[in-house]
A = this chain, B = another copy of it.
Amino acid sequence: MSRADKVRVAIVGCGEHAVRNLLPSIASIGTFALVAAADLDMERATLASNQYGAARAYADYQIMLDREHLDALVLCGPPDMHYKVASEAIARGLHVFVEKPPTWSTKELHHLAVNAKEHCVVTAVGHNFRYAEPYQVMNRIVSGEGTDQFGKLVNIDMVFLSTKPRRPLWGKDSVIRSFLLAMALHPVEIMISQFGLPISTTVNAHFHGGSDRQRVSSPAMESETMMLLMINVLFGDRRVATLVTGNCSDRFKIDIRFTSDSGKLLQLDDLWRLTYEGGGVSHVRGSGLPTKWSLNWTPSPLDSGHVRSGYAGELAAFATAVITGGRTHPSFAEEVAVYDVVDAIERDVAAQLMLVTPL
């Protein structure tokens, strides 16, 4: 592919995540040509440009948009920036990939989705989990690509635990919404990508650590709000997703379990070890040998780069959609459904938090 045929892309926001994960992913994707990098901090923009071969760096993204002939924009910063820059980019007819969370409010996201449709641009939200290599394997098995039949996926159980955020992020006033947009967005997106639109959402929440009501209403918080949420989501055709998530853990922990209506299990621990219980009759057969073996797969010991984590995959899918005029997932429009569930969860959690007696 000659440089002329590549997707001319620029990035806005050159913080740690961009430099460690998004920019090396872009550099590794042959269909992208990284043209420029912008950051309010010119030093960061310059550094990023030098490291990943962008010709120019900008402190002002609008100047960049004016000067460069871009096809697409990658946004990696706080949600208010995402909303503002994405709005302009769409208006200019640029395709937009935005790190999650794309916006703070569902209304803003909906607004972007409508505009994007109007301007016929490709949009994508950075849900790397969905593109993580072991999840892709899991997904292919569920989709019936193996010679062995998994059956119909009817239950998803997920544990998404993290150590943060325990205070509001991005200059906002709600730690609950901050947590949901920073962390819980991922598992909710996974549910919806597998099961479609939900019928109902139930939440049971536990809090600890101080006077919670104040924390939510006041941006100047004095202590941390920790929560553990148990979320149950019912989908059509009696399919159920359960999620245990929270910011109260002392570690980052992600487990995903899929169960089919024939009792087969696919379990993915820490986005690394995939276990398939019931995955076909094994070849280990013979007189007196047990027939029930579980199957395990892991990435290569030398797995390196950004394929396993999904950062390379999500951006490659975006590039392909731009080139082919196709779609990628989730688009801004699809993400609105994810936000709707997050809104429902937020209302429930906030209501339950109100019931906690201040110390």
Residue numbers of A with Cβ under 8 A of B are: 3, 19-21, 24, 27-28, 30, 33, 47, 49-54, 128, 136-137, 140-141, 144-148, 152, 154-155, 157, 159, 161, 204-206, 208, 226, 228, 230, 232, 234, 238-240, 242, 244, 246, 248-254, 257, 259-265, 270-273, 275-290, 292-298, 300-306, 308-309, 311, 352
A-B contact pairs, 20 of them (CB 8 A): A20-B304, A20-B305, A21-B304, A27-B51, A49-B53, A53-B53, A140-B288, A157-B244, A208-B262, A228-B259, A230-B238, A248-B261, A249-B264, A253-B265, A279-B284, A282-B282, A283-B283, A292-B297, A295-B296, A304-B308
Main secondary structure of the interface of A (DSSP, over half): mixed
Known contacts A140-B289, A289-B141, A252 near B300 by CB under 8 Å: yes
Contact A304 B293 (CB under 8 A): no
Contact B301 A270 (CB under 8 A): yes
> Which residue of chain B has its CB nearest to the CB of A276?
B284
State A303–B92 Cα separation when bound (angstroms): 36
> Which residue of chain B has its CB nearest to the CB of A247?
B263
Of B30, B146, B230, B288, which one neighbours A289 at CB under 8 angstroms? Answer: B146
Contact B141 A228 (CB under 8 A): no
Known contacts A279-B282, A292-B297, A293-B296, A305 near B306 by CB under 8 Å: yes
State A152–B248 Cα separation when bound (angstroms): 13
Contact B302 A305 (CB under 8 A): no
Closest 9 CB pairs of A and B: A280-B283, A249-B263, A145-B286, A53-B53, A304-B309, A206-B261, A248-B263, A270-B301, A271-B301
State A285–B145 Cα separation when bound (angstroms): 7
Contact A238 B206 (CB under 8 A): yes
Of B155, B157, B204, B286, which one neighbours A147 at CB under 8 angstroms? Answer: B286
State A24–B300 Cα separation when bound (angstroms): 19
Q: How far is the CB of A57 from chain B (nearest CB, A)?
A: 11
State A137–B291 Cα separation when bound (angstroms): 11
Q: Which residue among A20, A261, A278 has the maximum number of chain B CB atoms within 10 Å of its CB?
A: A261
Residues in chain B near residue A204, CB distance under 8 A:
154, 234, 238-240
Residues in chain B near residue A27, CB distance under 8 A:
24, 27, 51-52
Contact A304 B306 (CB under 8 A): yes
Contact A301 B252 (CB under 8 A): yes
Q: Which residue among A159, A230, A297 has the maximum number of chain B CB atoms within 10 Å of its CB?
A: A230
Contact B292 A294 (CB under 8 A): no
Q: How far is the CB of A200 from chain B (nearest CB, A)?
A: 10
> Which residue of chain B has its CB nearest to the CB of A271?
B301
Residues in chain B near residue A251, CB distance under 8 A:
277-278, 292
Residues in chain B near residue A294, CB distance under 8 A:
295-297
